[in-house]
Structure 1
C-alpha cells in the first residue's frame, strides 16, 4: 500500500532530504512549504511523479485547517506527518523580543499541535499513522537546554507535546508518535561549520516515519537510538 506523507519545511535542508527519502521509498509525498514557488523549485530535484507541493504557513493558524482539508481532498488521507519546519531566533534572553518568541512557538509547537489535531483522529480510525516531531538536543533537559531561549524552550515544548500525545495511543493501535534530534546539520539554519549532512540528519526521520507495527512510540531519538528528554 502506498503511504502518503506530509513533510513541513520540505523545500530545503533536512525537510528536503526527508521528502526525497520518502519518495525513494515509493511514498506519495506532500511537500509542505511556506512559499509555493520555493516548493516547486525544490520538487524538480526529487525523482518521482507522485510528489506535490502544499503551501502551508504554520504561523497562520486560520489557514492550516483549510490547507489540510484541501490536501486530503485532492491527495487522499495523510498517513505520515513529519513536523520538520523550524525557525532559529538567536537572540539572547535579554534581547529576545516577544514577536520572535511567539513565532518560534507557532512554528515549533502550535502549528504541529494543530496538524496533529487534524490528522491524528484519522490515523487512529484507520489504525495506521506515524508522527515524527523534529526536535533538538537543545530542547532536552538532560543536555542542559543550552540553545538560544526561543529555540530551546519551544523545542522542549515540542518534546512535551510528543510525550503527551503518545499517552492517548493504546497499546494495540498501530499509530506511533516520536520526537527526534537530527544532530548539528550543515543547513542554512545549522551553518557551514556543522559536521553533518542534511542526508544524515534525515535518516532518523525516515526510520521513524516507516516504523513497523512493533516499533517504538513516545520516545526521543538520535541516530535511531533512544535518548533522554
Structure 2
C-alpha cells in the first residue's frame, strides 16, 4: 500500500480522493488550512496519521508544512490538490503556484508527484516579466503549474511528475451546476498515485480522464519554464 499526502483535503476533489484511497487501504496524510477545518476533517475521515495544518497562502506556514511532512518520512506520492479560484491575484499565485513549488523543493522526493491543472490553463497568459505576476488569474496560475510540472519531470527524472485536468466538476470551487462527472474528476490522480499500469508510469504528461492530452504550447517551452522557476526561487528564497 502507498503512503500519500494530499494537500487541500478538507473538501471537494481532495477529500474525495482521500476517502477512496483510505477505503482502498492506502496510508493517507491529510492537510487542512486551519485547525477548524482539520477538526471537521477528523470527524469525517479516519486516518492513522495526523492532519497537517498550514495556510498555503502564507510562505512561512508552507515551509513549516514541508518540515512536518518530512518528519513523517518519505511518501510514495504527493497529490498537489489545494487551489483557490475566487481570490486576489497574490493569493491565487501563492496557493496555486508558489506553494506546490515550495513543497516540491523542500520535501524529500516521493516516487510520484501529481499536480492539479485545469482546462482553463489553455486560456492562461504566458508571462514574460515577473511584474505580471501581480495580475495572475486562475487560468494563468494553472498554466504556470502545468509548465512547472513539465519542468519538474526534467529536473527529477527519477520521479514521475504529471498534471491532471479533473474537469469542471460540481465542487465548492466548480459550483453545483458544473457539467462534468465528480467521480471521473478524481480517478486520474488516484490512478497516477497508485497504479503500476504502463500508461500511469510516465512523466511530464498532462492528463484528463486517464488520457494524455495536449497542453498549452507554453507548457513545453523551456524558456517559459525557466522564467517561472527563477521567479519562484526569488519569491520563496528556495
* TM-score, length-scaled by structure 1: 0.81
Following superposition, the deviation at residue 43 of structure 1 comes to: 3.2
Are 2:124 and 2:141, in contact at CA under 8 Å, matched by a contact in 1? no
Look up the match of 1:34: 33
Are 2:93 and 2:136, in contact at CA under 8 Å, matched by a contact in 1? no
Look up the match of 1:220: 206
Q: 1:39 to 1:156 in 2, by over 3 A?
A: same
Alignment: residue pair count: 204
Look up the match of 2:96: 108
Are 2:124 and 2:142, in contact at CA under 8 Å, matched by a contact in 1? no
- The unaligned stretches of length 5 or more in structure 2 are 126-134, 216-238
The SS at the match of 1:52 is: coil
Are 1:79 and 1:129, in contact at CA under 8 Å, matched by a contact in 2? yes
- The unaligned stretches of length 5 or more in structure 1 are 91-99
The SS at the match of 1:167 is: helix
Are 2:90 and 2:136, in contact at CA under 8 Å, matched by a contact in 1? no
Look up the match of 2:145: 158
Look up the match of 1:70: 68
Following superposition, the deviation at residue 211 of structure 1 comes to: 3.5
Tell me which of 127, 131, 152 is aligned to 2:113. Answer: 131
Are 2:169 and 2:182, in contact at CA under 8 Å, matched by a contact in 1? yes
The SS at the match of 1:192 is: coil
Q: Deviations over 1:159-208 (max 9, x none)?
A: 110001101233xx3x2100000001101111111133533311111011
Look up the match of 1:118: 106
Look up the match of 2:231: none
Alpha-carbon separation, structure 1, partners of 2:152 and 2:23 = 29
* Correspondences of 1:39-118 after superposition (within 5 Å): 39-46=38-45, 48-73=46-71, 75-89=72-86, 100-118=88-106
